[in-house]
């Protein structure tokens, strides 16, 4: 069993979705990520930065131009959303 955890650094909001398989969790992660990118592009007219630390560990930065080389994952200087898949028993 897996859980997709989505958390925000600018408020206490979160999403947690249980998935039976890793593949289901990855699909859900990518669906949520793609939808958020689409919303930002449409409503704010810029492309947010997507930092994929691992396949199942992604940070979406609400600002353009950030890369993994420039940003320490623990020192967010912009609003961010964190997507992480966790295995549970």
Strands (DSSP E) found in the chain? 2-8, 14-19, 49-54, 57-61, 80-87
Phi and psi angles of residue 43, each rounded to the nearest 5 degrees, phi first: -85, -35
74 pLDDT more than 90: no
Q: Phi first, then psi: give them for residue 80, nearest 5 degrees.
A: -140, 160
Residue with tokens 């592009």: 41
- Given a cut of 90, whether residue 84 has pLDDT beyond it is yes
Residue 61 has pLDDT above 90, yes or no: yes
pLDDT for the residue 67? 86
Going by pLDDT thresholds of 50, 70 and 90, the confidence category of residue 76 is low
């Amino acid at each position: 069993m897996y859980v997709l955890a989505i958390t925000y650094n600018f408020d206490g909001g979160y999403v947690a979705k249980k998935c039976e398989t890793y593949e289901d969790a990855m699909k859900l992660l990518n669906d949520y990520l793609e939808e958020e990118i689409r919303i930002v592009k449409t409503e704010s007219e810029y492309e947010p930065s997507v930092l994929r630390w691992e396949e199942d560990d992604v940070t979406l930065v609400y600002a353009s131009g950030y890369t993994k080389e420039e940003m320490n994952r623990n020192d967010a200087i912009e609003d961010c959303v964190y997507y992480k898949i966790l295995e549970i028993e």
